[in-house]
Amino acid sequence: MRIFNETPVPGDRIEIHEEVIMRTFASTHTVLHATGGEFISLLDPDPQYENAAKACCNIGCWPVLVGDEAKHDRDTMLSSPIILYDYPKVAAESAGDLFDSTEIDEILTLRVKTMTDEEKLEMRNIDEHARRILERTEKLSAEHFMQMHGTLREVRVSKQDFFNPAQKIESANVRGVDLKKGDRVRIRPKKRADIMDMALDGKVAIIEAVEEDVEHNVHFALVLEDDPGRDLGMDRHIGHRFFYSADEVEPI
């Protein structure tokens, strides 16, 4: 299945960003239903179906099983651009529907709280749904808001390759040197996108992985050589790995 957006845009408006945005699929969700059949979980397939699951090609979407988990429903699948587990549920901490299809309540509530008076007036007059969201957010207590910040309910083993669209490769050539996992490089950020780029400039790092994205750009997952938590980085924990492109590292 493929989804196409064939909404026409007049030729004299194709360069106008706002005009194009209003005709763009911002977040396309597809519900797949099988009558008299069952879908295979791509996250946790039965061993006999692993090869079939691996053969599926999902570009810009994450198909997951939906329905009653206790009954092992397998006739419906949600294909979403949002990363979810099988049988996703709205969190109990949710104060109400935000009509975003993902219920990322905290960030959306913060967004509403930082709106200007003019923006709130506009939101209030859009429709009944928007007005209810605004009024509910303004009445939200600090205690209820903090409950949205995060709750760990369970730890699941996931297939990381499913969530990561980049593909691991054995090595990449940088300045005539083939760099691979375990090699040492010096970080030389070019974009300086944030304070970390300035802090890491000149630091020596160890390559944890070499990856190639869907546009065939090479990226290195790096762990700082002098990081006391280097073992965590080599185990792919967040906060101990940094990603830089091939032209932002120097072979040592």
Residue where a domain stops, chosen among 80, 100, 117: 80
> Which structural domain, as residue segments, surrounds residue 54?
11-80
What local confidence, expressed as pLDDT, does residue 20 receive?
85
Cα–chain-centroid distance for residue 59?
13
Residue where a domain stops, chosen among 131, 153, 175: 153
The number of residues in the chain equals: 252
**Do 39 and 106 belong to one domain?**
no
3-class secondary-structure state, position 62: strand
Q: Which residues pair with 217 in a beta bridge?
A: none
Residue where a domain stops, chosen among 153, 182, 199: 153
Residues 6+ apart with CB under 8 A from 212: 166, 167, 169, 172, 218, 219
What local confidence, expressed as pLDDT, does residue 161 receive?
54
What local confidence, expressed as pLDDT, does residue 130 receive?
86
Q: Does residue 158 sit within a domain?
A: no
What local confidence, expressed as pLDDT, does residue 142 receive?
78
Q: Does residue 126 sit within a domain?
A: yes
What local confidence, expressed as pLDDT, does residue 99 receive?
66
The angle formed by the CA atoms of residues 248, 249 and 252, to the nearest 5 degrees, is 165
**Do 244 and 172 belong to one domain?**
yes
Q: Which residue, among 92, 85, 91, 25, has the nearest Cα to 60 in the 3D structure?
A: 25
Q: Does residue 239 sit within a domain?
A: yes
What local confidence, expressed as pLDDT, does residue 155 receive?
65
**Do 94 and 46 belong to one domain?**
no
Query: How many structural domains is the chain composed of?
Result: 3
What local confidence, expressed as pLDDT, does residue 180 receive?
94
What local confidence, expressed as pLDDT, does residue 183 receive?
96
The mean pLDDT values, 10 residues at a time, for the chain of 252 residues are: 88 86 82 94 90 85 90 92 82 71 70 88 88 86 74 62 68 93 94 75 94 86 90 82 92 94
Q: Which residues pair with 177 in a beta bridge?
A: 174
**Do 170 and 104 belong to one domain?**
no
**Do 144 and 218 belong to one domain?**
no
CA torsion, ordered 108, 112, 113, 114, to nearest 10 deg? 100
**Do 148 and 218 belong to one domain?**
no
